[in-house]
Structure 1
């Protein structure tokens, strides 16, 4: 069942989303060769708790950490470990926060130093997919319109759109209805209405759309070993239009620029 949110609830979700945004901003300046995912995970948990939040991923479905940190061919759900980042890696960090009983949940894919041009293009196109999907999240449209916009743009560039993992509703629970696939047909799916709050999160692969799960029972990797990018925003439908509740500005401020520009 889809729970449409009141203005007050949307503001509470916004505050949770902004704590995630600030957490990602804190981590942005730390990501460099030699730093480990587990170091970032510890920083994130401390920052979230210091700001009155609770890590939403920690313990959810028995996940062992605060962050999902997915490097290169890992699409999502990477478990933070002690293997240091290397020059040329791409690192997707997905973070969730419970603040005052409401959830924020979004993600950004970072570059470690200089990356290959084809990989940088993958990140740029995936980010474009995110905003094209958000544009379609307006009253009167259907969920399929979001997926169609994302899929069309990604496949135009020859990329694979992951099927098994999707965006979702957001509120008092981290994962609510509706599911928001990154593929679909125009005019299909649930109708979008005022008060809808969703996490839109394209997961786009440089090669095949097919994915595998590793033996850790969490990490999802591309079937061909090529890189994958993941960007996510939290979006509310207000006065018929999409409003982004999260922001990447803290990341850009920490890095001194938008790295993809």
Structure 2
């Protein structure tokens, strides 16, 4: 696209404008701007206008800087353009995509509350992680080669415990919003507001440019689903994955909910995911090798006719969103390390009704089952204690896990 020449475009106003490059009078419109502007609904106004240039050379000279404007503008326009039948236009990265594995399709995302707007709305008192502005977690990137789990001090543990408590409250608020007819974008809004009202930052927001405050993974989506305007339907299963950053520490947890009248098979899948997390947690104590957790989890999954996803794993958490140790959920893995008192990490097995393999949609986030089967997941943040473990993300009054379907039905 950098080779495209500016020209006088049919349909563009033929009046003098100021050159976006040098400030001289200009009549030559950027053709990409004109194309996007032409597709903008009359009742929808973006912050971007058509750029004009005085000459081809000036256009080419400033193209690299100018073209960055097109992507956010185009995204805003496509979000606002309805398709026949009341659906919305899918993000442009899905144009001509034929790799669907199940019946789910991405819907449009709300244009009125994008990442930039949410960052600007954050109160000054909310401490932000290093990626909030840039989208790049530099401290985490520098930590990539570290394979040793951090032993946290009592003071640090107290800070992480507080973040996890807030995360628990936020997930409960988001879970209450789950019901037939509610969009995952609305769940995202509830998550953002519940997090910020508690003085915390929603950890997913702008993490490697993730656009939302929460991950919502519906049906065949395994993880990292991006909230959109699709209403939840009777029989859906939806995972809500909440993470918060509070006063320098992250907490992370998720649950899968059954929406409306769900089939016994889907309810069984959700319970299996819970039982798998329960089985992994049963091994937590000083001296346990991290690689052993996966064997316990996979044994439960296979006994119930399900498979464990191998691409994604649990992780250390605290000062960083993701750090050592890695905690795979399948047997015969090569995880490094032995648990010690003061280690903090997540276990979050992703369990499929069909095969274990996954694919990623063109948005580079949404992971789906390769065979289109449904998937479910549960996650907690755990602290290794001197004689076992503490679930930092457990509800008050529930020191240990216990399956209760009524808490997952919506």
TM-score range, shorter chain: over 0.9
Contact 2:327 2:335 in 1 (8 A): no
* Correspondent of 2:165 among 18, 23, 29: 18
CA distance in 2, matches of 1:80, 1:36: 8
What's the offset of the Cα at 1:184?
Answer: 2.6
1:5-154 matches, cutoff 5 A: 5-154=152-301
Which structure 2 segments of 5+ residues have no match?
Answer: 1-147, 398-403
CA distance in 1, matches of 2:282, 2:383: 12
Which structure 1 segments of 5+ residues have no match?
Answer: none
| Rg (Cα) greater in structure | 2
What's the Cα RMSD here?
Answer: 2.0
Change (3 A) 1:68 1:186: closer
CA distance in 2, matches of 1:156, 1:248: 29
- Residue aligned with 2:177, SS: coil
Which structure is higher in strand share? 1
What's the offset of the Cα at 1:161?
Answer: 0.6
Please give the TM-score of this superposition, normalised by the length of structure 1. Answer: 0.94
CA distance in 1, matches of 2:239, 2:335: 30
- Residue aligned with 1:29, SS: helix
CA distance in 2, matches of 1:20, 1:259: 17
CA distance in 1, matches of 2:192, 2:173: 11
Contact 1:96 1:103 in 2 (8 A): yes
Please give the TM-score of this superposition, normalised by the length of structure 2. Answer: 0.60
Which of 186-195 and 46-55 deviates more? Answer: 186-195
CA distance in 1, matches of 2:185, 2:334: 43
Q: Deviations over 1:210-235 (max 9, x none)?
A: 00001111100001111000100000
What's the offset of the Cα at 1:114?
Answer: 1.5
CA distance in 2, matches of 1:148, 1:189: 15
Q: Which has the higher contact order (CA 8 A, sep 6+)?
A: 1
Q: Which residue of structure 2 lines up, in the alignment, with residue 258 of structure 1?
A: 407
2:345 is equivalent to residue 198 of structure 1: yes
Contact 1:69 1:80 in 2 (8 A): yes
Contact 1:142 1:187 in 2 (8 A): no
- Count of aligned pairs: 257
